[in-house]
Amino acid sequence: MTAPGSPCPHVPCKGTIRASGYCGTCHRHPSTAPGADTAPARGTTGQATVPGPRPAPSDTDAPAAPRPAGSAGGLDRDGLVQLPGFPRPADEDVVRATVRRPEGGRRCGVPDCAGTIGVSYDGGPAPDEGFCPLCGTRYSFRPQLGPGDVVAGQYRVIGYLSPGGTGWVYLAEDLDLPGQRVVLKTQINTQDAAARRKAVEERRSLTTLHHRDIVGIIASKQHRRAGEAEPTDYIVMEYVAGRPLDQLLKASDEELSRMFGGPFAFDHVVTYGCKILGALEYLHDQDLLYCDMKPENVIHYERQIKIIDLGAVRRIDDRTSALVYTPGFAPQKRERDARGFRVDTDLFTVGRTLAALATRAKVPAGLAARSFDRLIGRATHADPAARFTSAAQMSRQLWEVLREHRALEGCEPFPERSTRFEPTAVAFGAALGTVPALTHWTQRPEGVAPPDLATRAPAPHETARALPGPIADPGDPAAVLLGGLAGDAPERTAERAREDPALQTVEVALWLCRSYLLSGEPGPAGGKALAAAEHWLDEAVRLMGRDVAGYDWRPPWHRGLLHLMRGQVRDAQGEFAAVYATVPGEWAPKLALGYCAEYLRAGIDPENAATEAEAYYRAVWQRDKAHTSAAFGLARLRLLHGDRAAAVRVLDQVPTTSRNYNLARIAALRILTGRVGGTAPSSADLTKAVVRLAEQPQDDARDRLVAEIRENVLAGHPAPPRPASWRARLVLALTLSGPDTQDFTPLPPGELFQGAGSRRALAQLLYGSLRTLVGQAPAADRPELLDRAYAVRPQSRF
């Protein structure tokens, strides 16, 4: 941001920047200078509330460069996709030399007159001028200016841009600054008193607004034409030389490809949306509503956007003046008549705008398409109470959807801490990464083959305890106390909450719900703890108020956790789906829905044979490698199809900094060596496993892993049938080889299978492993392990 008193960057202007942010001489904002950095610093007026990394901006005058397939280019300083640089169009490409008459059928505009003017009679053309049939006041729809006219001795009209809702718009040249273009705007019907009042309101709004993505006012001038008794007021605004977004809807695919250096991407739609919402958030902070958001009111210029046409702006508390809106982008008439326009109405129009733009964009990757649909669904919900409550709230969720989409497209992920859910390092379904305990042998009946790897979804209560809790609302009176409460003793806190009014808040009730839930026993009955958890959830809903709680995502989240604790996974799935619809950019409901789909084995997509669980888990994992529950889930799904290599590839992505890194390494080793679907590992899998085993420390856990691997491999080489006669058995005993060596698959070299050239030799190695485990076992378990060891020990040939 250029500081007040700084020289104006525009050439040849020699003025300085005033406290308003505009030059005192040329009245232009420094951000409109060629090559200017239009993004103010964080925390300054006009900054969009979109979090994210901020790489250095590129030259705003550079043309759009081709980008790799599946990518919309790099990120800008707001963490949004950098828009392509649109060249400045020539004047003749944006203006008309002849006027396009506005449609007739307008209200008279004279106070207390209900007449309609400009209406066609007897099927003829609607008149450009005439008199109101009720009050007799003269009206004219003819433009007051034409090309070549000079306004206030300074602005020469170049041509017509378009008629707006209530005014003519002209492109003009500033004669004091050759080459500088401005926009002149005035009323269509100068006799329209209501339009005059609207023009005054628009002028006041523009004068007080200073935002990088909202068109700015330069001056207000009066001009009297020959023959007029009174001068006409003109607003002089900055000229935004670019393309209205509605032109993107009309352009061919080839045109879009030329403009964007590749296909018009979903990334661009989201970037437009976040910038628009940043501007509307600024307006809302000024107690103003925009009211008429639509693609044609947003200009893409250079690498930026600008919202134009503030003729519909009104104060948030205005419930009397006529509404200005565009059918198809505004809510239904019943809602408009009942409640007028509110903040959520502005967000509704943004939702409709983004939905229209998305029809021309490349379909989002993976789950991002569904997340975007959920976001649009909430923004344009028929019930206003179900919509987003602020532009910042909607912008954050839209930004999260962008992060998800880019991660699924293969772009570099930028993990961000959720603003709704606490981080959690607990992983559910990590049994694959657990070294087998001694009970793996002692509690299995002799003669029973080793079990397959645990590829089924984990128990619902395990998942419920691993899913995160919501971040406490900082506005809750007791929010600061939650960190000091004893989570392992909810009874004491519950007793205090019943007596102390300071603890009778929504956040305390939700905290008690989670504390009881985590301490409860699983199962349909649930026990006293789960009953207490349900009681405190009901208390939280009561404190919120039923109307508010019906649209808050926290009650369904906690109900979903309660259903999981009781084993009611399908009911939990419905609750988590409601959370997803409310906060479609968050990772936690997707992880929960991924688990539910995996557990229920539901939602198979016939087109690509991917399950619902696959889509949810992949969206979470690609977005942030901290969520290892999703990695284990993906590995289990791969193993359902016997694809060991794909499962290992997923687990190898767990970063070394993760506290679950060792679990993932052990899981990969066990996948390469375990029994999957009754199938033993291949020689190639075992060769990879030998290398991985060498990375494990020499300890008791490694000894158990070695025993498990040898047992799994031996189970894949069943003992040959014994000859029926004693003579045949004697011949085999006297030979150097027998049936146990004839079809034996060679094992990789190394300590793990040293000297195991036959089933007999492999059994001898397993016998040694089991004898090693005897030394680790408690005294009570040693006889069982010894019996198992002797059971696999090869018999003597004599």
- Is residue 327 within 8 A of residue 354, CB to CB? The reply is no
Q: Which of residues 357, 381, 408 is at a domain's end?
A: 408
Residues 435, 554, single domain; the answer is: yes
> Is there a contact between 759 and 740 (Cβ–Cβ < 8 Å)?
yes
> 492 pLDDT exceeds 80?
yes
Indicate whether 309 and 202 sit together in one domain. Answer: no
How far from 501 is each of 459, 495, 508, CA to CA, in Å?
38, 12, 11
Residue 297 lies in a domain: yes
Q: Tokens 């950095």 label which residue?
A: 37
**Quick one: 155 exposed, middle or buried, by C-beta within 10 A (0-12, 13-18, 19+)?**
buried
Identify the sign of the CA torsion 321, 322, 324, 329: positive
Residue 134 pLDDT class (50, 70, 90 cuts):
confident
Is the pLDDT higher at 647 or at 54? 647
For residue 581, give the CATH number of its domain.
1.25.40.10
Burial class (CB in 10 A: 0-12, 13-18, 19+), 293: buried
Phi, psi of 304, deg, nearest 5: -125, 175
Where in 698-778 does DSSP place strands (E)? none
- Residues 772 and 792: their CA atoms lie apart, in Å, by 14
Q: What is the CA radius of gyration of the chain?
A: 36
Q: Which of 76, 78, 292, 344 is catalytic?
A: 292
pLDDT tens profile 767-796: 999 999 999 999 998 999 999 898 888 876
Q: Which of 185-189, 244-248, 439-443, 565-569 has the lowest mean pLDDT?
A: 185-189
Give the containing element (helix H, strand E) for 304.
Answer: strand 304-307
Which distant-in-sequence residues (6+ apart) come within 8 Å of 611 by Cβ?
597, 598, 601, 602, 603, 604, 605, 637
Number of structural domains in the chain? 4
Do 433 and 506 fall into the same domain? Answer: yes
pLDDT bracket for residue 32 (50, 70, 90):
low
Q: 701-725: per-residue pLDDT in tens? A: 999 999 999 999 988 876 555 555 5
Question: Residue 761 belongs to what domain range?
Answer: 684-798
Dihedral Cα 503, 504, 507, 509, nearest 10 deg: 110
- Predicted pLDDT of residue 715: 85
Do both 66 and 128 map to the same domain?
Answer: no
Read off the pLDDT of residues 573-621 as tens digits, 9 standing for 90 and up.
999 999 999 999 999 999 999 999 999 875 554 333 347 899 999 999 9
Sign of the CA dihedral with 12 first, then 89, 266, and 309 last: positive
Residue 415: per-residue pLDDT = 79
- Contact, 89 vs 242, CB < 8 A? yes
CATH of the domain at 204: 3.30.200.20
Task: Check residue 583 and give its pLDDT.
Answer: 97
Task: For residue 470, tell me if it sits in a domain.
Answer: yes
Look at residue 191 and tell me whether its pLDDT is greater than 80: no
pLDDT, average across residues 299-306: 94
Whether residue 644 sits in one domain with residue 586: yes
Confidence (pLDDT) at 50: 40
277 and 333 belong to one structural domain? yes
User: Do residue 253 and residue 272 come from a single domain?
Assistant: yes
Lowest mean pLDDT among 44-53, 267-276, 439-448, 560-569: 44-53
| Interval 630-681: pLDDT, tens | 999 999 999 988 899 999 999 999 999 999 999 999 999 999 999 888 888 8
Q: Are residues 526 and 626 in the same domain?
A: yes
Percentage of the chain lying above the pLDDT 70 cut: 82
Give tens-digit pLDDT for 142-160.
788 889 999 999 999 999 8
The H or E element containing residue 300 is: strand 298-301
φ/ψ of 247, rounded to 5, equals: -70, -25
pLDDT of 48 strictly over 70: no
State the average pLDDT over residues 311-334: 90
Q: Are 733 and 722 in contact (CB under 8 A)?
A: no
- Whether 610 is in a domain gets the answer yes
Is the domain of 598 the same as that of 637? yes
Position 34 in a domain: no
316-320: average pLDDT: 89
Q: Are residues 251 and 230 in the same domain?
A: no
pLDDT tens-place string over residues 198-230? 666 656 666 778 899 999 888 888 888 776 777
pLDDT value at 38 more than 70:
no
For residues 320 and 770, the model is more confident at 770
> In degrees to the nearest 10, what's the CA dihedral of 584, 49, 81, 205?
110
Is 300 within a domain?
Answer: yes
**Residue 734 and residue 675 share a domain:** no
Cβ neighbours around 266 below 10 Å, total: 25
Six token digits for residue 140: 């004219």
Q: How confident is the model at residue 87 (pLDDT cuts 50, 70, 90)?
A: confident
State the chain's mean pLDDT as an integer.
Answer: 84
Its pTM stands at 0.83
Q: Is 740 a catalytic residue?
A: no
Pick the last residue of a domain from 182, 206, 238.
Answer: 238
In a domain, 14, yes or no: no
| CATH code for the domain of 397 | 1.10.510.10
Could you write out the DSSP letters of every residue in 365-382? PTTHHHHHHHHHHHHT-S
User: Does residue 98 form part of some domain?
Assistant: no
Q: Are residues 479 and 600 in the same domain?
A: yes
Choose the final residue of a domain: 626, 660, 679.
Answer: 679
Residue 466 lies in a domain: yes
pLDDT tens digits along 330-378: 999 999 999 999 999 999 999 999 999 999 998 888 899 999 999 999 9
At 712, list the tokens.
Answer: 């799994």
Q: Is the pLDDT of residue 135 over 80?
A: yes
pLDDT of amino acid 724: 53
pLDDT tens digits, one per residue of 495-524: 999 999 999 999 999 999 999 998 888 876
